[in-house]
Amino acid sequence: MINANILAAISVAIAVRAIVSLYSYSGQGQPPMYGDYEAQRHWQEITTNLEPKYWYKNTSENDLLYWGLDYPPLTAYHSYLLGIIAGKYNESFVGLTKSRGVESETHKAFMRLSVLFADVVIYLPALVLLCLVIVNQQTKKSLLVYLIPMILYPGQILIDNGHFQYNNISLGLFLLAIAAICKEKYYLGSFVYTLALNYKQMELYHAFPIFIYLLRTCFDQKSFSQKIKKFSLVASIVVSTCVVLWLPWLGSLNSILEVVGRLFPIGRGVFEDKVSNFWCVVNVVYKIKNKLLNQQMAMLCLSVTAAFVLPINVHLFFNKRKETFLLSLVSTAMTFYLFSFQVHEKSILLVAAPALCLFNSYPLETLWFLEITVFSMFPLYVKDGLAMPFFVLLLIYHIFVKDIILKEFNYRQFNNRVLSTIFSTSVYFMFIIACVSLFAPAPTNYPHIWSLVISVYSFAHFFLYFCFCIWQQFVNDFTKIKAA
């Protein structure tokens, strides 16, 4: 049962999100394209005024160059639902071709509340359920200890409630799927994860471990007929869910290709922003951007990503344990972030989400990683006018959560004290970089120097945590097998 302390913690998490919502958002007062806030509003305009077959099609009424819909059908349906509600309240919010750039206070309140509603209905309950499933000690104290770092993670708050997006829906569904799978509710987990994947295609970051874990579950059945039956049921749930969601576009191959083309725009290239991944860091010293064509770069990214993803997930198949499953989710998602094609800075949230599940086993290392994920998006916060919430939330998160972890997990040994000291030094140096970047103008010859410093610094930490998770997955499993 959830006690008063947990309800109080959830209330604080909601209040923090509401406060961040008072700040500016992506593209505020920046015509003609504005930003992600306008993109979400525009999708409401398109979906409520046009038939589904035109949602992903370039027409005179749907200019795909102006924030064309580029997420799967479930996002479109969500936009449609919000658009209907917005239109009932004020028709000017979704007027076709007439509502571009709406920035009234009433519209901002509606949009911000729609994100907060998703937090309350999907994301925060998902974290609570995940804690109940993963935490071995089912005491109220331990549940609260794990829940607080999850519900107050600044990255998701600053992006969804500040910058403005609905990652809380796709990530919330993903976390619910993980909770269901860990409770051996495989059919429910398959259904919920399929919803997550059909809300944002970036959920493919998590697809391999989930597929492998469910496949191995099918193989673990006693008889061949039971194996086939379980696999068929899981497959039928996934396929039927996709068919229902994609039904308006299944009438022709051309319609399907139009949607898929919007979801995977290869032509954009790999270098859109200064992201803390391998290719952007390499490009600092070796201009790979000028050496390879776009198609060649895509193939290189695919090859390197596959070289890491396959061993991680083959190992999972032959070592089916829940801890291995959670580690492989982090390692696989990190592989996609570090090495795949066309990565956005916000994609690090797809690594942070499964990392939240590792607080039980690796609290200090995971907290360290989560704080760096927040820092890696600092240039985006500055662009959106969210520098102040960044400093306040992350500093409180570092001091408060670290103190909880040190007390609860009794980090008293010499090695852990050393690790804690290195962790704090790393984080405070991160704050110094952020402050200096605000007040020290970049040299004329190197206008992006601070973004590059943040990218390289963050990448170094990401790669170390990536190696740490792989080490824990392979070496720890080998040790356990040998001991057994």
Tally Cβ neighbours within 10 Å of residue 311: 14
List, for residues 65-76, the tens digit of each pLDDT value.
999 999 999 999
Determine the pLDDT at residue 409. Answer: 66
User: Comparing C-alpha atoms, which of 241, 231, 232 is closest to residue 199?
Assistant: 241
Residue with tokens 């658009």: 83
CA 318/CA 316 separation, integer angstroms? 5
Burial annotation 243-252 (CB, 10 A radius, 16+ → b, else e): eebbebbeee
pLDDT for the residue 142: 74
Q: Is the dihedral of CA 395, 399, 404, 410 positive or negative?
A: positive
Which stretches of the chain score pLDDT less than 50? 137-139, 412-414, 483-484
Handedness of CA 153, 135, 328, 424 (dihedral sign): positive
Residue with tokens 């308006």: 248
Both tokens of 215, joined, read 């496949």
pLDDT of 304: 95
Q: Report the distance separating Cα 379 and Cα 382, nearest Å.
A: 5
Identify the pLDDT of residue 5.
81
Q: What does the block give as tokens for 51?
A: 């038939």
The confidence score (pLDDT) of residue 468 equals 95
Tell me, what's the pLDDT at 141?
Answer: 54
Distance CA 83, CA 95 (A): 10
Per-residue pLDDT at 443:
85
Global model pTM greater than 0.85: yes
pLDDT score for 292: 80
**Pair of tokens at residue 297:** 């770069």
